[in-house]
Amino acid sequence: QDSWVNSSSGGSPDCCHPDTFWGPTDLSELLKEGTKESHDRAENTQFVKDFLKGRIKKGLFKLATTALYFTYCALEEEMDRNKDNPVFAPLYFPLELHRKEALIKDMKYFYGEDWKEKIQCSDATRQYVDRIHHVGQHEPELLVAHAYTRYMGDLSGGQVLKKVAQRALKLPITEEGIQFYTFENISNAQKFKQLYRARLNALDLDKNCKERIVEEANRAFRFNMEVFDELDKIGRSLVEEAQDGGVPVHDGKGDIRKCPYYADKLGNAAAGCPYHTVVALAKQPIVQLILAACVAVAAGAAAWYVM
């Protein structure tokens, strides 16, 4: 694809015309650039900020998992419906991506075998689900936006939230309750995401259709933010559950897997008084620099998840 258009007179590039240079045309890049503002807004919702800091009550996490269950039931039903549709078929990876069965395991863990009788779809989630069904049945090309927004986030920032939830809620190391975040059939998340983006870019779509997909991706972000806001309001009325003492779960300023200082403190918390140790170390200039560097890591990771 040329980065400029031909002039009307001689067919040669008109490099001086202000409208001749085009932006990205690959759908993956259009989605990345076109949803950047939505990323920022979503990661700054109170629910997400509290979650990253480990301030997540078990009751609220159960409700968030319930919202995910209804969302993915709708999304994967419509993906199955359109698995042979050329506007979506290249992005159909049921073995690698589908989350419904994993979510059922999480629901059983949190609610018991009779979990279906104990849950209901919230108002905000219902609106999201209704939109997914409409798209899948009437505008299947826009299903691309919903699949991209959810699954790429799950494989990125979702892995940060997995660690935070496991530690904050003291979930089993065998990962019961967080099966949603575990992709057993993807050995290398980074390579899979590259494959997925390549498939996105290979879709035979015109410019107008790509713009509509980006618009729909932003709509998907808005639906998710409405769910987050709904959960935040519910969370204020839930009784805080007692947590054991120790090193804070996550300071909200970095990925605990990538910040060596914080990971080291988690591993050596039992050596002394965690609170005083952390406070003392946090006053050291070098530690402050490391924590500052971790801020950018968490922001990027969370942005990919909150969709």
Residue 22: what pLDDT? Answer: 52
Per-position pLDDT tens, the chain of length 307: 333 333 333 443 433 343 334 567 899 999 999 999 998 999 899 999 999 999 999 999 999 999 999 999 999 999 999 999 999 999 999 999 999 999 999 999 999 999 999 999 999 999 999 999 999 999 999 999 999 999 999 998 888 999 999 999 999 999 999 999 999 999 999 999 999 999 999 999 999 999 999 999 999 999 999 999 999 999 988 876 544 433 344 444 444 343 332 333 333 433 444 444 444 555 555 545 455 455 444 544 444 444 4
Options 3.30.1360.120, 3.40.50.2300, 1.20.910.10, 3.30.565.10; which CATH number does 27-237 get? 1.20.910.10
Residue 253: what pLDDT? Answer: 40
User: Which of these, 180, 190, 128, 125, lies nearest to 158 by C-alpha position?
Assistant: 180
1, amino acid identity: Q
Residue 157: what pLDDT? Answer: 86
3 state SS of 122: coil
100, amino acid identity: K
> For the segment 220-235, what is each residue's pLDDT rounded down to a tens digit?
999 999 999 999 999 9
Residue 25: what pLDDT? Answer: 87
Residue 290: what pLDDT? Answer: 54
Residue 24: what pLDDT? Answer: 77
What tokens does 35 get? Answer: 């949803």
C-alpha to C-alpha distance for 277 and 270, rounded to whole angstroms: 11
Q: What is the dihedral of CA 47, 190, 251, 306, to 10 degrees?
A: -10
The domain ranges of the chain are: 27-237, 260-305
Contact indicator for 200, 28 with CB cutoff of 8 Å: yes
- The predicted model scores a pTM of 0.74
32, amino acid identity: K
C-alpha to C-alpha distance for 255 and 301, rounded to whole angstroms: 8
Residue 120: what pLDDT? Answer: 96
Give the number of other Cβ atoms within 10 Å of residue 37's Cβ: 11
What tokens does 194 get? Answer: 């590259």
User: Which of these, 278, 274, 273, lies nearest to 288 by C-alpha position?
Assistant: 278
DSSP state of 217: H
Let me know if 301 is exposed, middle or buried by CB neighbors in 10 A (0-12, 13-18, 19+). buried
Residue 264: what pLDDT? Answer: 36
Let me know if 51 is exposed, middle or buried by CB neighbors in 10 A (0-12, 13-18, 19+). buried
DSSP state of 205: -
Cα torsion angle, 107, 108, 111, 117, sign: positive
User: Which of these, 266, 305, 274, lies nearest to 49 by C-alpha position?
Assistant: 305
Cα dist. 6→18, 25, 196, 222 in Å? 13, 17, 32, 39
Residue 72: what pLDDT? Answer: 98
Contact indicator for 102, 179 with CB cutoff of 8 Å: yes
